Structure 1
Amino acid sequence: MKKEYRKPLSVRLSKNEKAILKNWASEKNVSLSRYIRKIALGELPQNSRIFKRGGISEMDLWELRKELAAVGNNINQIAHRLNKRHLQLMMKQKNGERVLVRLEEDAEAYLIQELRKVRGVNSKILKLLIRALK
């Protein structure tokens, strides 16, 4: 269901400012009014500043922060799962060394699985950085 917007808001822009905003909106595949609404409501970061080193925009930094947060979340999940599994196996330590071997195998399998996720996020980060530096 489409939202109905009934209250118009008028903003005066120079031709150049309007062209810049239209360009940014088209990069996000949204209408100009939707783009301006999202920025005004804080749903998108502002593209107002370009950082001097490497020409990285705030939008690119915002996307990088999101991707880095995902990496951090994955790493925290890895640590939590390994600690939980370690404690479970320590309680079942009736089989002595067999438990330690199983712990190593479980940890290795889980790490490989989670590192694949992190690698996917890292490739997104790398693409964003390359795009930002062009």
Structure 2
Amino acid sequence: MIEPWVIHDDNPVPVSSAGVVEALRTRGDSRRLETWLTSSSGRLLAFVTNAERAMVVPLEVEGGPGEHAVDPGTAGSSDGFVLSSGQGDEYPDKDTVPIREAFRPMEHIVGAGTWPADARGWPIAERAIAVPR
């Protein structure tokens, strides 16, 4: 059985893989650009966006090493990633993905508990997962 996931600051009812994208869109529309989900086993899943690009970061334990979706070969950086604390961050574009591409790994992680099979990873301190287009 796949572990259920809930959004931290919303109703504690589990969100489905089909419902997570709609929840993220709704939150983005209301300028809640940082979303944390927690699974029943305690795993965490972060989604931070500036409405154009997003950072997707699953963590096995709070504060532990993570991995994130990347867009290799992309130059530049983007700002406007506003955290729930009010802090505004800027990230290299190679460490984020276009928002429409960020929804697929979110759906897959919530539904299957893992990155999509066609996501490539590199073994670095924080393993980066390339999201195919």
TM-score bucket (shorter structure): under 0.3
Q: Tell me which structure has the larger Cα radius of gyration.
A: 1
State TM-score, norm by structure 1.
0.22
Q: Which has the higher strand share?
A: 2
**Higher percent of residues as helix:** 1
Q: TM-score, normalised by structure 2?
A: 0.22
